[in-house]
Chain A
C-alpha cells in the first residue's frame, strides 16, 4: 500500500510541479505573483478536451497543439496583465492577473458550462503492474512528460540566449536595460513558457480527473504553497516541494483522512514560513 500511495503522490506532484514551475519562474524574473496561472492549466485541459474528444484528433497531435496554444495564451496574458505594470507596485499586477483569472474562468463557464467532462485518453486503459503497485499508462505518461519537460527547461535556461536573458533579468532588471535586454519581452517569454508547461499539465494530468472551469483555482492555490515551500523564484526548489506535497498529501489522505489531505499543504506551508521564511531551499539557487 505504501508504495502505491507514493506512486500516486508522485503523479499528483507532477501536476503541482508543472503548474508551480511556471509560477516560480515568473516570480524569479518579475517578482510578481500570477493569479491567472491556474486558468492556463484549466484552458489547457479544455484545449485537449476540444481537440481530442470533440474534434477527434489523435492524442499525440492534440497534446502538442495544446502545449503550443497555451504558450500563446501565456504570452498574451503577460502582455495584457504583467508587462504594463512592470514599474508599478506589485499589488497592481496581482489585481490585474486576478481580473484575468475572473475573466477566463467565467468566460469558460459561459462557453463550456460547469458540467464536468471526461477526455478518456487512450493510455488510461493500459494498466501496468510493478509488483504490488498498479499504475495506468496515462499516469506513467504524466510522470515521464513532466520529467522530460523539466530536463528541456533546464537546458533552455542554461544554454540558450533567451534563457540567459531570463537569468539576467532575475538578477538585475536595471542592468538588463543597460545592456539592451527588453525585460518586458523576457517576461512575456517566461509566462509563455509557464503557459506551455500548464498546457502540458492540462493535456497529460487533467484527463485523469473531471474537467470543468473551476479546476484551475485549486491547482493554483496548491501551487502557491509549493512555490513558497520551494523558495520564491527557486525552480528546482519548486520541483522538490511539488513532489513532497504530492506524496505527503497522498499519504495523509491514505492513512489519516481526506480533510488532512487538503489541509496538509497549507499547514506545511505556514509552518515553513514560520521556521524558514525563505523556503526550504532558499533563494540562493535561482532560476
Chain B
C-alpha cells in the first residue's frame, strides 16, 4: 500500500525536476516545444474532463481555446489589461460560453451533442473571420504583450524569454493539474464518473445528472479559455485559424492515445505528441496520415490508451489475493 504522503512525493519530485529543466535545456527551440506542450496539456485536460470523465464527446475545445485567446488578446490590446486579469477573463469567457452551449445541447441525445459542439466551433470561426471590427478577421491580432509580473522584493518582471515562459507555464500546468486532481476526487468528480458509467442509475441515486454534466462541460470550457489566453500571450499573434478542426484532431489523438479518463496518461499523450513529431520531422500530411492510423489502432485495439494498457499490465502482474 502506498500512503498519501508517498503518493504525493512522485508528482512533487516530477514538478521540481521539471522546474530545473531550463538549466539543462538551454536551446530556445527545445524550450519552445516544451512551452507548447504545457499549453497543450491544459487544453488536453479540458477535453479529458468532458470526454474521459463525463464520457461525452465534445468537439468544442478549439472553440473555447479560441474564445479565450481572443478575449485575453482584445482586453490586453484594446483596454491595456495586465496578464492575470486578462487570463481570468478568458477563463470566465470559456466557462460562460460553455454553459451557454451546454444548457440547450446537453438535454439532447449524445449524438446531437457531438454535432452541436462541432457546429459551435465552426460558428465561432465564422465570427472570428467575419466580425472584422472586433477581430480584424483573417489579418489577425498581432503584438499581444507578454505578461509583466510583479514579484515581491524584485519588482516587476517582464516574461519575455522562453525560459521565463517555461517557468510561468509550469506554474499554470501544476495549478491546473492540482485543481483537476482535486476535482475528480471530490463529490462532484465522483458524480461526473457516475454519470459516465450509468446515467440512469446515477439519476436513480439522486444525482442531478443534467447539472453535473453542465458543470463538467462549463469547467472544460474554463480550462480551454485558460489555455487560449496563455497561447495568445506566448505567441503574441492570433488569427481565426485557431478554431481549425485540425487542432481537434491533434487533441483527440493526445487524449485517446494517452488514456482518456486518467490524469498522467493525458499528460504523457500531450508530451509525446508534441515532442515526437518534432524529432521525426516528416511531411506534415504524412504525419497526420500516420496519426490517423495510430488513432484507429488505439480505438480498435486499446480503447484505454497508454494508461489503460499500463493498468492492464499491472493488474496482470500483481499477485492475486489469497482467498480468505
Task: Decide whether A and B are members of one complex.
Answer: yes
- As a 0/1 sequence over residues 74 to 103 of chain A, the CB contacts with chain B under 8 angstroms (1 = contact) are 000000110011001111101110111111
Q: Name the residue among B256, B293, B300 with the largest chain A CB count within 10 angstroms.
A: B300
Chain A contacts with B in 241-287, Cβ cutoff 8 A? 259, 262-263, 266-267, 269-270, 273-274, 277
Q: Are A263 and B126 in contact (CB under 8 A)?
A: yes
From B105, B110, B126, B303, contact of A273 by CB (8 A): B105
Residues in A with CB closer than 8 Å to B249 are 98, 102
Q: Does B109 contact A (CB under 8 A)?
A: yes
Q: Are B107 and A259 in contact (CB under 8 A)?
A: no
Residues in B with CB closer than 8 Å to A27 are 111
What residue in chain A is nearest B123 (Cβ atoms)? Answer: A266
Q: Does A224 contact B (CB under 8 A)?
A: yes
Residues in B with CB closer than 8 Å to A42 are none
Residues in A with CB closer than 8 Å to B296 are 80-81, 96, 99-100, 103
Q: Smallest distance from the beta carbon of B57 to chain A beta carbons, Å?
A: 5
Docked Cα-Cα span, A109 to B115, in Å, equals 26
Main secondary structure of the interface of A (DSSP, over half): helix
Residues in A with CB closer than 8 Å to B109 are 232, 277
Q: Does A150 contact B (CB under 8 A)?
A: no
Q: Smallest distance from the beta carbon of A283 to chain B beta carbons, Å?
A: 10
Q: Smallest distance from the beta carbon of B140 to chain A beta carbons, Å?
A: 18
- As a 0/1 sequence over residues 223 to 241 of chain B, the CB contacts with chain A under 8 angstroms (1 = contact) are 0000000000000000000
Q: Are A110 and B111 in contact (CB under 8 A)?
A: no
Q: Choose, from B2-10, B72-80, B280-288, the stretch at the interface.
A: B280-288
Q: Smallest distance from the beta carbon of A31 to chain B beta carbons, Å?
A: 7
From B112, B114, B123, B292, contact of A94 by CB (8 A): B114
Q: Does B295 contact A (CB under 8 A)?
A: yes
Q: Does A206 contact B (CB under 8 A)?
A: no
State whether A91 and B112 are in contact (beta carbons under 8 Å apart), knowing that A98-B252, A270-B119 are contacts in the complex. no
Residues in A with CB closer than 8 Å to B285 are 106, 109-110
Q: Does B18 contact A (CB under 8 A)?
A: no
From B105, B256, B289, B299, contact of A103 by CB (8 A): B289
Docked Cα-Cα span, A121 to B130, in Å, equals 34
State whether A106 and B292 are in contact (beta carbons under 8 Å apart), knowing that A27-B111, A99-B299 are contacts in the complex. yes
Residues in B with CB closer than 8 Å to A270 are 104, 116, 119-120, 123
Q: Does A107 contact B (CB under 8 A)?
A: yes
Chain B contacts with A in 90-131, Cβ cutoff 8 A? 104-105, 107-112, 114-116, 118-120, 122-123, 126, 129-130
What residue in chain B is nearest A88 (Cβ atoms)? Answer: B303
Residues in B with CB closer than 8 Å to A95 are 57, 252, 256, 295, 299
Q: Are B300 and A84 in contact (CB under 8 A)?
A: yes
Q: Does B81 contact A (CB under 8 A)?
A: no
Docked Cα-Cα span, A266 to B53, in Å, equals 28
Q: Are B126 and A262 in contact (CB under 8 A)?
A: yes
Q: Are B104 and A221 in contact (CB under 8 A)?
A: no
Chain A contacts with B in 208-249, Cβ cutoff 8 A? 217, 221, 224-225, 227-228, 232
Q: Does B62 contact A (CB under 8 A)?
A: no
Q: Does A33 contact B (CB under 8 A)?
A: yes
What residue in chain B is nearest A233 (Cβ atoms)? Answer: B111
State whether A224 and B123 are in contact (beta carbons under 8 Å apart), knowing that A89-B55, A273-B104 are contacts in the complex. no
Q: Are A102 and B291 in contact (CB under 8 A)?
A: yes
Q: Are A259 and B130 in contact (CB under 8 A)?
A: yes
| A-B contact list, 18 entries, CB within 8 Å | A84-B300, A85-B300, A89-B55, A91-B110, A96-B296, A98-B252, A105-B288, A106-B286, A106-B292, A110-B283, A217-B245, A225-B115, A228-B115, A259-B129, A259-B130, A270-B120, A270-B123, A273-B104
What residues make up the interface of B, taking CB atoms closer than 8 Å to A? 51, 55, 57, 104-105, 107-112, 114-116, 118-120, 122-123, 126, 129-130, 245, 249, 252, 256, 283, 285-286, 288-289, 291-293, 295-296, 299-300, 303
